[in-house]
């Protein structure tokens, strides 16, 4: 029999086993409209139930759970959004993050429910409409994926802009730039910067709508291309790969890096922004779990700074270095200069 006075408590295991309870509470709160209802003056449990159109019992349970998780606060019998919820979970706010939460719940979670199968088979378990086609091709990944990543990428880019000095970069090519969140944010932070979002044609359409809505069409353009098969456009003095290389295996990543360097002039800069796994492969948790997310979703994984640095040097880069920072989607950027 285990001695309860000396054995470690099972708290870690309970927290891991019940992680779904937390994420699904958050998802339910978003879909019920909790944070929009409580924005402003808050509400009692009865008022909330009436506004949400739900019965009193689930209203009380949901509000209690959200308060316990730090999403809400209770003051004088009224429930209010916490600072985090008020900033990120009220529709219409600049950094609205709920699209990302719902993308994870609806698009990513089904693959995670078969994580054991992914480990055993070394093959993705996330369902896609046509597994024989590239996972990024039109129809194989919903537009909600790009919407979900927009706030996530914007916040990541905001931290990247502080960590890396882009004052000397005139034009930046964002390879695999998705709906344009990263480049738009970098251009907001650096008023002199111009650039191009490069992605598949249907994704460029999504990016163009975001660019137009941001009033940035004079500084940010799009280029439709497949970076495995098409030459990348020139005319840029830096190329960014932000949360891209974790999708692919080493051979494909080396090919992407070579294509990026071919598009750069001598002295041009290549930046790889990612959640970097520690060189000794003991963590950190966010990078390690993102790597698990790649296991269930694609054929890539998260790599170490040493691995990226080696690939850049093999491709002919000089002055290869890593700059660390903290953000939702990246904890460092590996930088190389084309010889």
Active site residues: 246
* Residue 82 token pair: 């916490």
CA distance 250 to 103: 27
* Contact (CB, 8 A) for 170 and 193: yes
CA distance 251 to 41: 55
By DSSP bridging, strand 72-75 and strand 78-81 are antiparallel
Burial of 53 (0-12, 13-18, 19+ CB in 10 A): exposed
Burial of 177 (0-12, 13-18, 19+ CB in 10 A): buried
CA distance 282 to 292: 14
Give Cβ neighbours of residue 14 (< 8 Å, ≥ 6 apart): none
Give Cβ neighbours of residue 135 (< 8 Å, ≥ 6 apart): 124, 128, 141, 247, 297, 298
* Contact (CB, 8 A) for 104 and 113: no
Strand, coil or helix: what is 243? Answer: coil
Give Cβ neighbours of residue 202 (< 8 Å, ≥ 6 apart): 138
């Amino acid at each position: 029999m285990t001695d309860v006075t000396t054995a470690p408590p099972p708290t870690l295991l309970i927290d891991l086993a019940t992680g779904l309870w937390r994420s699904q509470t958050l998802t339910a709160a978003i879909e019920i409209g909790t944070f929009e209802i409580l924005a402003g003056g808050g509400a009692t449990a009865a008022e909330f139930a009436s506004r949400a159109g739900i019965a009193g019992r689930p209203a009380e349970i949901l509000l209690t759970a959200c308060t316990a998780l730090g999403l809400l606060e209770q003051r004088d019998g009224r429930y209010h959004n916490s600072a985090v919820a008020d900033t990120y979970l009220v529709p219409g706010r600049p950094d609205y993050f709920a699209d990302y939460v719902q993308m994870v719940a609806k698009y990513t979670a089904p693959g995670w429910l078969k994580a054991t199968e992914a480990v055993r088979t070394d093959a993705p378990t996330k369902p896609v409409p046509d597994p024989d086609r590239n996972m990024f091709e039109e129809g194989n990944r919903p537009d909600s994926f790009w919407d979900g990543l927009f706030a996530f990428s914007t916040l990541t880019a905001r931290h990247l802009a502080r960590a890396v000095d882009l004052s000397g970069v005139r034009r930046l090519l964002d390879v695999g730039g998705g709906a344009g969140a990263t480049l738009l944010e970098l251009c907001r932070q650096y008023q002199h910067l111009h650039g191009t979002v490069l992605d598949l044609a249907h994704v460029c359409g999504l990016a163009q709508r975001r660019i137009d809505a941001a009033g940035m069409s004079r500084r940010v353009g799009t280029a439709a291309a497949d970076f495995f098969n098409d030459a990348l456009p020139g005319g840029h003095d830096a190329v960014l790969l932000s949360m891209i290389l974790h999708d692919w295996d080493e051979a494909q990543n080396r090919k992407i890096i070579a294509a990026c360097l071919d598009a750069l002039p001598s002295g041009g800069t290549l930046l790889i922004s990612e959640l970097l796994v520690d060189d000794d492969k003991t963590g950190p948790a966010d990078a390690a779990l993102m790597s698990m997310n790649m296991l269930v979703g694609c054929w890539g994984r998260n790599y170490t700074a040493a691995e990226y640095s080696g690939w850049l040097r093999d491709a002919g880069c000089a002055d290869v270095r890593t700059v660390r920072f903290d953000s939702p989607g990246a904890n460092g950027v590996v930088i190389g200069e084309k010889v």
